[in-house]
């Protein structure tokens, strides 16, 4: 089922403009994100075709089935609570039945972990981006040969340099394991290409070295050390970096490059906003997602604050949230039985 089908069959219960426009943080270049709630036709809900969530290809339009929506509200999921708390001017459509879901019934002390936990995920993302910006990975992929070295006395030499220096080909080399010496091999060379040695690696994409059958009495030419752990780590970082390059938001990346602070400033803005929201819920017992500190948050997005200062600000907010958690009058969790009764009554009304 698609979003278009949901609308054609009048299955939409709630539809809002979400994201920066609902927070009051939109700028002329901001996208318009749409979120909503739907219910399934009776035969699909009772049958084997339950669909909990439907989105478009770019994921900027996401709709949740009513039961899934309530399930996430009960967990104090930040994104879902913010949908239910959407300002009036961001509500595109609201079915009368949605009046039965009240934001105050879902707010609980769970927000400490759900909001703060999500914020910490954003900090981790920002740190990960900083690492990618500061440590770019060359497009030309290294091979396992680049993680091999030859022992020379008390020192070592890179395998590629050794091969070049001695005018040797890796394809004519043969290796055998050295017992009880992880990653160590004796290296032999087949000058005449008659011994059938398998080379050090089969191809540039090999994930392990090759071992060969060596004639009895053959004399080793050198001893080779292969660092498979470092090669595996490099392959992972290479894949992550170039996947990020392919999928990154170029405008957002250029903004981060322009302010030169080497962190994802938009992620950090949302980190601070999420923590301030958790602070508001625990101190006031309410959720107003339209921010009152627009300029401060937009200055963070513009990269006008130092990264370490932002981390300190986040730490201070987390400490405040921990204190408010103790004194808050909110329940530990929402009233599950009450809200399940509400959900069942909503479904009865929809299907009758």
User: Bigger pLDDT: 173 or 265?
Assistant: 173
**265 inside domain:** yes
**78 inside domain:** yes
- Asked if residue 277 and residue 222 are part of one domain, the reply reads no
What pLDDT was estimated at residue 262? 55
What pLDDT was estimated at residue 181? 95
> Angle at the Cα of 102 (from 96 to 107), degrees rounded to 5?
160
pLDDT tens readout for residues 65-89: 999 999 999 999 999 999 999 999 9
- Asked if residue 208 and residue 278 are part of one domain, the reply reads no
**96 inside domain:** yes
pLDDT tens readout for residues 316-330: 999 999 999 999 999
Q: Identify the domain boundary among 232, 266, 299.
A: 232
DSSP 332: S
What pLDDT was estimated at residue 126? 64
What pLDDT was estimated at residue 246? 78
For the four alpha carbons of 274, 276, 280 and 283, in that order, the dihedral sign comes to positive
Interval 241-249 mean pLDDT: 76
- Asked if residue 69 and residue 127 are part of one domain, the reply reads no
Q: Identify the domain boundary among 202, 232, 262.
A: 232
Query: Does the pLDDT at position 313 exceed 70?
Result: yes
Percent with pLDDT over 70 in the chain: 92
- Asked if residue 271 and residue 126 are part of one domain, the reply reads yes
Interval 82-102 mean pLDDT: 97
What pLDDT was estimated at residue 307? 84
- Asked if residue 224 and residue 89 are part of one domain, the reply reads no
**256 inside domain:** yes
What pLDDT was estimated at residue 116? 83
**Overall number of domains in the chain:** 3
Whether the model pTM is above 0.75: no
**241 inside domain:** no
Tokens of 328: 């808050």
Antiparallel, parallel or unpaired: β 61-65 and 33-38: parallel
User: Which CATH number covers residue 9?
Assistant: 3.30.460
Please tell me the distance from the alpha carbon of residue 84 to that of residue 37, in angstroms, as a whole number.
10
CB atoms near residue 222 (< 10 Å): 18
Interval 173-178 mean pLDDT: 96
Print the domain residue range for 280.
107-136+250-332
User: Any long-range contacts for 230-234 (C-beta under 8 Å, 24+ apart)?
Assistant: 230/147, 231/142, 231/144, 231/146, 231/147, 231/207, 232/207, 234/142, 234/147
- Asked if residue 286 and residue 297 are part of one domain, the reply reads yes
What pLDDT was estimated at residue 254? 47
Query: Does the pLDDT at position 258 exceed 60?
Result: no
Query: Does the pLDDT at position 291 exceed 50?
Result: yes
User: Bigger pLDDT: 244 or 333?
Assistant: 333
Range of weakest confidence among 115-119, 261-265, 335-339: 261-265
- Residue carrying the six token digits 């981006």: 129
Q: 3-class DSSP state for residue 16?
A: strand
**258 inside domain:** yes
- Residue carrying the six token digits 């009036």: 88
Q: Which helix (H) or strand (E) holds 14?
A: strand 12-18
pLDDT tens readout for residues 179-205: 999 999 999 999 999 999 999 999 999
Is the separation of the CB atoms in 125 and 264 below 8 Å?
Answer: yes
Is the separation of the CB atoms in 296 and 268 below 8 Å?
Answer: no
Residue 145: closest CA among 191, 204, 187 = 204
Quote the mean pLDDT of the chain: 91
Is the separation of the CB atoms in 273 and 314 below 8 Å?
Answer: no
Please tell me the distance from the alpha carbon of residue 132 to that of residue 276, in angstroms, as a whole number.
28
Query: Does the pLDDT at position 131 exceed 60?
Result: no
- Asked if residue 209 and residue 172 are part of one domain, the reply reads yes
- Asked if residue 166 and residue 132 are part of one domain, the reply reads no
- Asked if residue 132 and residue 67 are part of one domain, the reply reads no
**237 inside domain:** no
Residue 246: closest CA among 132, 113, 165, 335 = 132
What pLDDT was estimated at residue 120? 78
- Asked if residue 283 and residue 260 are part of one domain, the reply reads yes
Is the separation of the CB atoms in 278 and 111 below 8 Å?
Answer: yes
**170 inside domain:** yes
- Asked if residue 226 and residue 153 are part of one domain, the reply reads yes
Burial of 318 (0-12, 13-18, 19+ CB in 10 A): middle
Q: Identify the domain boundary among 170, 202, 232.
A: 232
- Asked if residue 325 and residue 274 are part of one domain, the reply reads yes
DSSP letters spanning 283-327: HHS----S-S-HHHHHHHHTT-S-HHHHHHHHHHHHHHHHHHHHH
């Amino acid at each position: 089922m698609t979003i278009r089908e949901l609308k054609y069959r009048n299955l939409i219960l709630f539809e809002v403009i979400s994201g920066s426009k609902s927070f009051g943080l939109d700028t002329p270049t901001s996208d318009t994100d749409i979120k909503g709630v739907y219910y399934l036709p009776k035969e699909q809900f009772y049958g084997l075709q339950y669909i909990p969530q439907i989105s478009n290809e770019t994921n900027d339009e996401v709709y949740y089935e009513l039961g899934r929506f309530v399930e996430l509200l009960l967990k104090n999921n930040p994104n879902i609570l913010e949908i239910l708390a959407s300002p009036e001017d961001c509500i595109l459509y609201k079915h009368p039945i949605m009046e039965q879901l009240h934001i105050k019934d879902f707010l609980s002390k769970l927000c400490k972990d759900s909001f703060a936990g999500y914020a910490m995920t954003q900090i981790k993302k920002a740190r990960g981006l900083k690492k990618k910006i500061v440590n770019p990975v060359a497009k030309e992929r290294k091979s396992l040969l680049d993680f091999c070295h030859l022992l020379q006395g008390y020192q070592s030499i890179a395998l590629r340099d050794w091969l070049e220096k001695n005018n040797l080909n890796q394809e004519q080399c043969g290796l055998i394991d050295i017992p009880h010496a992880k990653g160590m091999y004796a290296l032999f060379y087949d000058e005449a290409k008659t011994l059938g040695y398998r080379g050090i690696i089969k191809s540039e994409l090999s994930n392990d070295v090759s071992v060969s059958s060596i004639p009895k009495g053959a004399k080793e030419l050198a001893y080779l050390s292969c660092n498979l752990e470092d090669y595996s780590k490099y392959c992972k970082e290479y894949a992550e970096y170039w996947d990020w390059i392919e999928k990154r938001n170029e405008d957002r990346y250029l903004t981060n490059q322009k302010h030169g602070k080497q962190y994802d400033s938009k992620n950090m803005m949302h980190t601070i906003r999420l923590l301030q929201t958790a602070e508001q819920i625990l101190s006031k017992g309410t959720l107003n997602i339209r921010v009152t500190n627009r300029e401060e948050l937009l200055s963070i997005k513009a990269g006008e604050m130092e990264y370490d200062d932002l981390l300190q600000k986040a730490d201070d907010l987390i400490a405040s949230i921990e204190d408010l958690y103790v004194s808050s009058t909110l329940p530990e969790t929402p009233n599950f039985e009450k809200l399940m009764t509400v959900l069942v009554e909503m479904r009865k009304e929809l299907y009758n």
